[in-house]
Structure 1
Amino acid sequence: MLKLKSIPKIHLYLLLILLIMFIWSVIKADQLGIWFLEVIPVIFGTIIIIYTYNTFRLTTLVYILLCLDAIIILIGGHFGYGKVPLFNWFKDYFHTGRNFYDRFAHLIGGLAGAMTIREILLRKLDLNNMKLTIILVLGLVLGVSASYELAEGFVALVAGGAEAFVGLQGDIWDTHWDMFIALIGAISGLLSLSAIHNKSLALIRQTTKEP
């Protein structure tokens, strides 16, 4: 059984922040049905992380990125991705023609996903070939992104409210852009955070005695 004292305070803070944001997100959500569909990944992701916390504890860096990604999803679910106020201001001020919050969400999602996948690959497969690791990470990020887009489209068709859930905002290339932006996020994460991530991995290997 997990002892509370064995959990780093920052992990508890992240969980508390996520809980507060979850409660805020559901209160007076723009469309409760759409909200539920949007936040399903957060619900299941949190359950998986808590369930595996004893057996496979991730680095704090990855937990922070996943928490940030979850918060962005919860904000999008609360307002509706095409109605987030700050990005509506950007839309009106810069005359962009659309609310770009969903693009921002996919960018952070790709970044958080890449670092999570990188950690799992390096710790579970003990990969030493960095080029192969990068290829696998980017390929899996694209695969997950494409799978989500397919699932999103299927659910929207079955449940109705396709436009509100999928959020094309009139752009026929929206799905392609979402996957491309996720890829950009993944590349950005690998370029900017790999060195910091390696230090975090070295630390967690010392504390868990992993190879």
Structure 2
Amino acid sequence: MTLTHSQTPLLVFMLAATATALALSGWQPYDRLTWLMEVLPVLIAVPILWLTYKKFPLTTLIYWCIFLHGLILIMGGTYTYARVPLGFAVQEWFDLARNPYDKLGHFFQGFAPALIAREILIRHQIVKGAKMLAFIIVCIVLAISATYELIEWAAAVAMGQGADEFLGTQGDQWDTQSDMFMALIGSLCALAFFTRLHDAQLRKLA
């Protein structure tokens, strides 16, 4: 499989937009260490995508998912999740008890990995059968979500009170469980609403 010419301008745009967003967000973030921890997945993903796109190019849908997820992480790192202005607006609109922006992040933490896992499993022919494929994908998403929560726990232990901005629990004792639930919902939405589009793009890529 090779990178299609139609993807090249799109990927250049995404790379430039991501680099610009990183530069702007890193100029004066609310908390430097929190910013670094939140954008670290982006800093890891970009070089991996750059190094592998010739041998294993992804569908356009997957690149869009990764790009949008990256912007969500960058925004969260800039303000910390509990202080993102968009979250305060949503909080006011729906009369919520807390800033819900972190739930958007965890929704995409399920949405994007679900489609990424689906693409890898299908293209490498690892799983056969639509039902088993969906089951394995959801399991992978929940494993990723649980791993992230373990990382947050480790950060809390290592940093003490300094981890509050990174955790962003806002006093919610069920924050960990609701984060994983949002990732589950994200994975189910990805599979329910984007499977047909994903399959069409996979056929074109092949």
| TM superposition score normalised by structure 1 | 0.91
Q: Is contact 1:149–1:175 with CA below 8 Å preserved after alignment?
A: yes
The one-letter amino acid of 1:194's match is T
Percent identical among aligned pairs is 34
| Structure 1: runs of 5 or more not aligned | 206-211
Structure number with greater CO (CA < 8 Å, separation at least 6) is 2
Q: Does 1:23 align with 2:23?
A: yes
1:117-157 deviations in Å (ceiling 9; x for gaps): 10000001254411111001000000000001101210232
| Structure 2: runs of 5 or more not aligned | none
Equivalent residue number for residue 69 of structure 1: 69
Equivalent residue number for residue 58 of structure 1: 58
1:66-90 deviations in Å (ceiling 9; x for gaps): 0000000000000110001121122
Equivalent residue number for residue 110 of structure 2: 110
CA RMSD of aligned residues (A): 1.8
Equivalent residue number for residue 120 of structure 2: 120
Equivalent residue number for residue 189 of structure 2: 188
Q: Does 1:152 align with 2:160?
A: no
* 1:175 CA displacement: 0.5
For the residues of structure 1 that align with 2:151 and 2:86, how far apart are their CA atoms? 28
1:57 counterpart SS class: coil
Equivalent residue number for residue 208 of structure 1: none
> What is the number of equivalent residue pairs in this alignment?
203
For the residues of structure 2 that align with 1:154 and 1:13, how far apart are their CA atoms? 36
The one-letter amino acid of 2:98's match is R
Q: Is contact 1:110–1:181 with CA below 8 Å preserved after alignment?
A: yes
1:58-111 deviations in Å (ceiling 9; x for gaps): 111100010000000000000110001121122234331100000011112211
Q: Is contact 2:7–2:60 with CA below 8 Å preserved after alignment?
A: no
Using the TM superposition, name which of 74-83 and 12-21 deviates more. Answer: 12-21
Q: Does 1:162 align with 2:158?
A: no
- Cα 1:47/1:200, change in 2 over 3 Å: same
Equivalent residue number for residue 79 of structure 2: 79
Q: Is contact 2:87–2:100 with CA below 8 Å preserved after alignment?
A: yes
Equivalent residue number for residue 176 of structure 2: 175
Using the TM superposition, name which of 42-51 and 84-93 deviates more. Answer: 84-93
For the residues of structure 2 that align with 1:33 and 1:17, how far apart are their CA atoms? 23
| TM superposition score normalised by structure 2 | 0.93
Using the TM superposition, name which of 83-92 and 52-61 deviates more. Answer: 83-92
